[in-house]
């Protein structure tokens, strides 16, 4: 069974608003390397539309050179989109229909490598269903003072064990976790 890794940037107070992340070249390099190791990206509608608007060419062509490897990688990776309102998707994407929990289980059961999960509300659902195998949080050393908040509304607490840590020059810390058994 393929593993599913939830990855997101977060401030010290738990804010996951993409405008608060301030990723730099080092963060983009780590994110690019992670996507290059994955076979697919699982997103909810809101995150898919946000990422498509920002990273799909020609919009991404305006980004600086140090962002281009990430732009190319996210453009090419297969995307799986959970939505009850979209009728179709493109940008190398497949719309997940029907029972989304079952669709995620089916994706995980396919042969292949790691899947990555991004976003907020849909990601909280997937975590709540117990389908995430690994968590990667890049924590930025500032307080946003607002939400949306990491895994807000999760039906039960997560008990996590850190398995890897990467201190970044910016002061951010990228930590990988697994759920305690």
Query: How many C-beta atoms surround the C-beta of residue 35 within 10 A?
Result: 21
Residues 23 and 21: their CA atoms lie apart, in Å, by 6
Q: What is the pLDDT of residue 181?
A: 73
Higher pLDDT, 139 or 180: 139
Entry pTM: 0.94
- Is the CB of residue 78 less than 8 Å from the CB of residue 154? no
CATH T-level fold of 4-179: Dihydrofolate Reductase, subunit A (3.40.430)
- Is the CB of residue 46 less than 8 Å from the CB of residue 120? yes
Confidence at 18, pLDDT banded by 50, 70, 90: confident
Parallel, antiparallel, or unpaired: how do β-strands 134-140 and 160-167 relate?
A: unpaired
């Amino acid at each position: 069974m393929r593993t599913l890794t939830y990855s997101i940037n977060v401030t010290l107070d738990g804010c996951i608003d993409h405008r608060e992340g301030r990723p730099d070249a080092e963060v983009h390099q780590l994110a690019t390397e992670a996507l290059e190791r994955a076979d697919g990206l699982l997103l909810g509608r809101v995150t898919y539309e946000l990422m498509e608007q920002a990273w799909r060419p020609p919009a991404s062509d305006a980004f600086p050179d140090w962002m281009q490897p990430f732009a190319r990688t996210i453009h090419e990776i297969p995307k799986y989109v959970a939505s009850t309102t979209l009728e179709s998707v493109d940008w190398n994407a497949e719309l997940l229909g029907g029972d989304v929990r079952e669709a995620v289980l089916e994706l995980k059961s396919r042969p292949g490598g790691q899947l990555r999960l991004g976003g907020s509300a849909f990601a909280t659902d997937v975590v709540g269903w117990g389908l995430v195998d690994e968590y990667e949080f890049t924590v930025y050393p500032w307080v946003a003072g607002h939400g949306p908040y990491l895994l807000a509304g999760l039906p039960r607490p997560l008990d996590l064990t850190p398995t890897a840590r990467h201190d970044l020059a910016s002061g951010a810390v990228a930590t990988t976790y697994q759920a305690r058994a």
